[in-house]
Structure 1
Amino acid sequence: MANKDKKKSINLLRGWPSTSLLPAAALRAASQTALTDPSIWGPGLEYGPDPGYQPLREALVHWLGRFYGDVIPITSTGDSGAGDEVSQGRNVREEAGRINITGGASQSLACLLQSFTDPARTLAVWVVAPCYFLACPIFADAGFAGRMHAVPEDEEGVEIGILEREIRALEQRSGKGTGREDEGGLRYKDPGQYRKIYRHVIYCVPAFSNPSGRTMTLARRERLVELARRHDALIICDDVYDMLQWRVESPSSTSSPLSESRQDGKFHKAILPRVADLDIAKGRSPHDPPGKHFGHAVSNGSFSKLVAPGVRTGWTYSTADFATGVSQTGSTRSGGAASQLAATIVCELLLSKATGDKGDGKYNTSTGNGKEGEEEREGECQLDRHIRDTLLPSYARRHALLMRTIRAELVPLGVRVVEDSLCGHSGVYGGYFVWMTLPRNIETRLSTNTTPARPWPTARAIADRCRASEDLMIGNGELFAVHGDEDAVRFDHAIRLCFAWEDEQDLVDGVERLGRVIRKMLDEEPESWEPKHRALSDVDGAK
C-alpha cells in the first residue's frame, strides 16, 4: 500500500527541458513532410555528406543570421559573420561552408578534440569554473585527464588576467612556446592539410552559463579572443542557451510572475556577438598555416534546448577552413554526417513558415495591459514560434517564481543569488539555471559581531539532507568543480537550481523545502550535518 505521507519527489538538479515544453506536434508534422517527400527522405536515410545535410546548413545561414546579424562585427576585409553577409546578398552556399551539422554539443565537443588536439602537443584544457561538469569526462577521454585547469569567473565572465598568467606559467614549465619553431617533436596525430593542432583549449559557456547563469561581457569576449590568438588556443564555446533570453522583474516588483508580458523586441535578437564572430572578424593569425585561416574560436550549437534533446542534432560555426577540418573527423568520414535523418526533420522546422491561430501568418500577442493585438512576423518559422510562444514565456515565468521564492525563503538567511545574467545590463536573464552562494559562517547570517563564528553547512551536506528528509534533489557546488583541479576554484558553499524541468508549483515547493532544511541545520550542532550513509548523487540526470 502506498505511503500517503510520502512527499512528492522534486528534482531541481536535473537540467532537462520539461516534457510539457517539447514540440511533439510540430515534430510530427515535420517528420511527415520529411518522410513523404523522396527528395528529402532519400538523402535523409543515407549516410549523408561529411559536413552534414546541406539544406539544414543553408537554412542555418539564414536563421542564425537573423538572430546574430545585428551584432556581428565587420572588418575592412569584409570577413564577417553570416548575418551581415546574407544581408549583403552574398552566396548562401558559400556561407554554409562555415557550418557543420553535428550530433549535438556533446558529440561535437568530442569530435573537435579528436580533430584539433593532440595530448603530446596540446598543453592543457582551460575550463571556466564553475563548469558544465559533464564536459570533463569528454576531455579526459581525449587524453587530458589531470591536465584540465580551472579558471575562475567573476560577474563579467572568465578572469583573463588569471588565465593568461597560468598559461604563461605552464608554457615556461613545459619549455614549449607557441611559435612555429616548436612544431617538431613527439606527436600522436597527423592533422594533414585540413586540420591543425592547437597548443591550448579554452572551454566556456559564454551566454547564460551552465551552471552560473552569467553571460560574458563584450569586453571579456574581446580580451579572450586576443589571448587565444597570442597563445595558439582554440576557444570552444557551448553556445546552447543564447536564444533563451528574457526580461526579468526587479526584486522589488509586485506584479505577478504568472502574468503574460510582451517581450521587448531586442530580446529576440542576440545582445552580444558570439566569440567566434569576434575572432573571425580579426582575420588570420600568426598561428595559421600558410594559406589557411583556421581561427581560434568555434561556436558549438545545439537544438537540444530549442527543440528537444532527443533529436540529437546541432551545429558548429567557424571559419570555412576550420569547418572543413571538422568534417574530416574519422568517425564522420566513416559514418557520414551525424544525425542525418533527424537533421532533415529539424530542417523542416526552419523552412516551414509559422502560422497563427487564424492560419493567416499573424499572431495574437498580448501587450501586457489586457489588450490584444496582432503583429505580422515576417520570415518566422515553426521553430521561431515555438521559442517565442512556448519556451520564452514558460521559462520567464518559472524563473520569476523560483527567484521570488528564493528571495522569500533563502535571501533572509544570507544566501546570495545571481539576479542578472549580464553585468551592467540589469533585467536580462536566460538559460536554465540559478546559482546561489551560501555564507561560510552563522555569524554572517545573524549580522552580529557578538555571536561566535560557527560554520555554515556545506552545499553537499545540505544536498544530502534535502534528499534524505525532503525527497528533494539540488545541485551542490562541488559537482561543478573542474575534474582534477577542484582545489583551484572551490564551490563547496554554492548551489545550482534548475527551473526548466519541474512544474511551476514544484519549483516553489522545492525552494520552500530547501529553506526548511537549511533553517533546521542551522539550529543543529555541526557534528550532525554529515550523513551516516551518503546517498549516491543522480549526476546522470543533472546535465
Structure 2
Amino acid sequence: MSHQKIAPYNFFKGHPSTNLLPTKEILEATQKVLSRFDGTLDTYDGFNDTHPLNYGPDLGNLEVRKLIASWNDKNFGLTTPTDPNCLNLTSGASYGIMNILAQTTFPRDNITRQAFLISPTYFLINAAFVDAGFSGKLSGINELDDGQIDFEEFETKLKSFESQSEIKKEITKEDIAPIYDPYRPMKKIFRYVLYIVPTFSNPKGGSLTTENRKKLIQLARKYNILIICDDVYDLLDFRDTKNRYERLVHLDRESLPEGEEYGNVISNATFSKLLGPGLRAGYQETATPKLAHLLSQGGAHRSGGTPSHLNTVIVGELLRNGNIDKFISKLNSIYSVRAKAMKKALVEYLPKGTKISALEGGYFTWVSLPPQYDSLEIAKECETRGVILATGDNFEVNGDAKGWGKSGVRLSLSHLDADKIEEGIKIWAEVCKKHYH
C-alpha cells in the first residue's frame, strides 16, 4: 500500500522518522531493568510483579500499572488517584482493540447489534471489526469540520436499530452460549460499540469538546454502547495551553451512576506514538477495576500472561527515571515546528478555497480541495513525482462509504522534516494547477 512506499515525500506514513526513535534511552532502560530484576534483589514477588523475562500477571506488573496511573494523574490533572487495577497492559492499540472486541461484543444473533466508526476513520481499523464478526454491521458517523461528531445522525441510527426488534434488558449466558466459559467471569457484552479517536483524531485531526465528551457518555449509557477510545495522540499537544483534553474514561469514572460496575468507556492507549511503534507496548484503562479485569481474562492472556511483558516493564523504567517526559517534550518541540511549516505551506501554495482542518496536535491534518479538483487524479500524478498523498477513499467505513476520495487528503507530519514538508506541498500545488477543471 502507499503508506509503505519509499518515496522522497511520503505524507501517508503515520510513524516517526527514524532519527526520532529513542534508541539510546530504551537501551539504557533495558539494561537497568534486567540488572534490577537479576534475581539477587527482592524487587518482585512472583505474583503481582514477575520477572520481565518470565510470564507476566494477567493485568501486567502492578509496579508498572502504578507508574502509568500516577503519570496519567499528573498529565491530565486528576485529583483523585487512579486505581492501578483499572489498567490492563497490552501489546499496543491494534492488538488491544482485538482483545476489547473479543471480550465485550458478540455480533452473532444480533446480541451486539452494530458497530459505529467515526468517519472518515483510521484506514486500517475496519479489518479488526471484520475479524470480530462485524462484516455488514459497520456504520459511519460523520466527524464535522469543527472536529465534533454528528450527534443527530448518530442517535437517528441508534433509534433505527432499536426499533427493528425487541431488545432484552439483560444479556444472559444463554444468549452468548458459544463464547460462555464457566471457568472465567461472565463477559460484559454491550449492545453497540463506537470506535473514536477523540483527541487529535486520525485522520482529520479534530478534538471533541468536554461538553460533547460528556454528551457522548450520556448517549452510551442510554443505549448500552461501549466507547472504544484510541487515546494515542493526547500528549502530542502543540497548543499554547497546559490544559489537556480530558480523557473520556476519566469523565466516565467521575460520573458513574450508583451501582454501575463497568462504565461505558475503554481508553485503548499505546506508547507507539511516543516511544516507537516497534516497542509494542500499551495499556487499556477503564472506569472500574471490574472491566479491566475482564479484559485481562481473554484466553491468550490466561495462557501466556500479559502480552509484551518485558517491553511494558521497560516503559515502566522510562516512567520511573522521567526520560519519557523529556522525550515527549522533544517530540512536541519538533512536531510543532513541522506543524507550523505544514500549515504555512498549505495556505501559501494550495488553491484558493482549500479547507484545512486544525493542526493542534497529533500526527495529522485533513485537506479538502475546492470542488473543481479531483484529489484522486491529482494524487496519481503526484506519485510519479515522488509525493505520496493519502486520499480520502482510504478512510471510508466498510459498507458505509461517504465519498471522501474526490476532495479529502490526510497529511502526516510525523515522517518528514519541515523542509521536506514544504517541498512536497509545493509539488502537490504544481500538479493541482494542471488539474483545474
Q: Same fold (TM over 0.5)?
A: yes
CA contact (8 A) 1:284 1:293 kept: no
Deviation at 1:284, TM superposition (A): 3.9
2: CA distance between counterparts of 1:176 and 1:430? 43
Helix, strand or coil: the match of 2:272? coil
Deviation string 1:403-440 (CA, Å, 9 cap, x unpaired) is 11111111x4321101x36xxxxxxx000011111111
CA contact (8 A) 1:194 1:328 kept: no
Deviation string 1:188-230 (CA, Å, 9 cap, x unpaired) is 3227635311000001000000100000111211111011001
Residues 176 and 9 (structure 1), Cα distance of their counterparts in 2 relative to 1, 3 Å cut = farther
Deviation at 1:162, TM superposition (A): 0.9
Residues 8 and 495 (structure 1), Cα distance of their counterparts in 2 relative to 1, 3 Å cut = closer
Matched, 1:435 2:366: yes
The partner residue of 2:134 within 125, 132, 144 is 144
Query: What corresponds to 1:447 in structure 2?
Result: none
The partner residue of 2:354 within 404, 409, 415 is 415
CA contact (8 A) 1:119 1:188 kept: no
2: CA distance between counterparts of 1:461 and 1:148? 28
Matched, 1:166 2:157: yes
1: CA distance between counterparts of 2:356 and 2:67? 39
Deviation string 1:452-509 (CA, Å, 9 cap, x unpaired) is xxxx22x2222111112x121011011111112114x644310111111012211111
Letter in 1 for 2:304: G
Helix, strand or coil: the match of 2:139? strand
The partner residue of 1:129 within 100, 116, 119 is 119
The partner residue of 2:280 within 308, 312, 326 is 312
Query: What corresponds to 1:232 in structure 2?
Result: 224
Query: What corresponds to 1:368 in structure 2?
Result: none
Following superposition of structure 1 onto structure 2, how do residues 515-526 of structure 1 map, counting pairs within 5 Å?
A: 515-522=429-436
Residues 127 and 176 (structure 1), Cα distance of their counterparts in 2 relative to 1, 3 Å cut = farther
CA contact (8 A) 2:236 2:332 kept: yes
1: CA distance between counterparts of 2:160 and 2:319? 47
1: CA distance between counterparts of 2:177 and 2:367? 43
Identity %: 32
1: CA distance between counterparts of 2:177 and 2:383? 47
2: CA distance between counterparts of 1:310 and 1:124? 32
Query: What corresponds to 2:249 in structure 1?
Result: 276
Aligned residues: 417
CA contact (8 A) 1:245 1:430 kept: yes
Residues 190 and 169 (structure 1), Cα distance of their counterparts in 2 relative to 1, 3 Å cut = same
Following superposition of structure 1 onto structure 2, how do residues 465-480 of structure 1 map, counting pairs within 5 Å?
A: 465-468=381-384, 470-480=385-395
Residues 467 and 156 (structure 1), Cα distance of their counterparts in 2 relative to 1, 3 Å cut = closer
Query: What corresponds to 1:73 in structure 2?
Result: none
CA contact (8 A) 2:173 2:180 kept: no
Deviation at 1:342, TM superposition (A): 0.7
Helix, strand or coil: the match of 1:206? coil
Query: What corresponds to 2:52 in structure 1?
Result: 44
Letter in 1 for 2:361: G
Deviation string 1:491-541 (CA, Å, 9 cap, x unpaired) is 43101111110122111111001001111122xxx7xxxxxxxxxxxxxxx
2: CA distance between counterparts of 1:43 and 1:337? 12
Residues 313 and 182 (structure 1), Cα distance of their counterparts in 2 relative to 1, 3 Å cut = closer
Letter in 2 for 1:146: G
Residues 186 and 396 (structure 1), Cα distance of their counterparts in 2 relative to 1, 3 Å cut = closer
Matched, 1:210 2:202: yes
Following superposition of structure 1 onto structure 2, how do residues 208-357 of structure 1 map, counting pairs within 5 Å?
A: 208-247=200-239, 264=240, 266-267=241-242, 269-270=243-244, 272-284=245-257, 293-318=261-286, 319-352=288-321
Unaligned runs of at least 5 residues, structure 1? 1-6, 70-82, 87-91, 248-263, 286-290, 353-380, 422-428, 442-455, 527-543
Residues 8 and 476 (structure 1), Cα distance of their counterparts in 2 relative to 1, 3 Å cut = closer
Letter in 2 for 1:243: L
Helix, strand or coil: the match of 2:365? strand
CA contact (8 A) 1:50 1:328 kept: yes
Helix, strand or coil: the match of 2:381? helix
Residues 483 and 220 (structure 1), Cα distance of their counterparts in 2 relative to 1, 3 Å cut = same
Letter in 1 for 2:325: D
Query: What corresponds to 1:396 in structure 2?
Result: 336
CA contact (8 A) 2:173 2:186 kept: no
Deviation string 1:24-79 (CA, Å, 9 cap, x unpaired) is 1111110110122224796100110010122110101110000112xxxxxxxxxx
CA contact (8 A) 1:211 1:435 kept: yes
Helix, strand or coil: the match of 1:61? helix
Q: RMSD value over aligned CA atoms?
A: 2.1
Deviation at 1:137, TM superposition (A): 0.3
Query: What corresponds to 1:157 in structure 2?
Result: 148
Letter in 1 for 2:29: A
Residues 50 and 507 (structure 1), Cα distance of their counterparts in 2 relative to 1, 3 Å cut = same
The partner residue of 2:189 within 174, 189, 197 is 197
CA contact (8 A) 1:178 1:232 kept: no
The partner residue of 2:73 within 57, 65, 78 is 65
Helix, strand or coil: the match of 1:239? coil
Unaligned runs of at least 5 residues, structure 2? 1-5
Deviation at 1:122, TM superposition (A): 0.5
Residues 393 and 348 (structure 1), Cα distance of their counterparts in 2 relative to 1, 3 Å cut = same
1: CA distance between counterparts of 2:62 and 2:173? 36
Query: What corresponds to 2:411 in structure 1?
Result: 497
Helix, strand or coil: the match of 1:180? coil
CA contact (8 A) 2:50 2:56 kept: no
Residues 18 and 298 (structure 1), Cα distance of their counterparts in 2 relative to 1, 3 Å cut = same
CA contact (8 A) 2:226 2:264 kept: yes
The partner residue of 1:112 within 97, 100, 108 is 100
Helix, strand or coil: the match of 2:143? strand
Runs (4+) off by over 6 Å: 181-184
Query: What corresponds to 2:3 in structure 1?
Result: none
CA contact (8 A) 2:147 2:204 kept: no
Residues 200 and 398 (structure 1), Cα distance of their counterparts in 2 relative to 1, 3 Å cut = same
Helix, strand or coil: the match of 1:440? coil
| TM-score computed with the length of structure 2 as normaliser | 0.91
Deviation at 1:292, TM superposition (A): 5.9
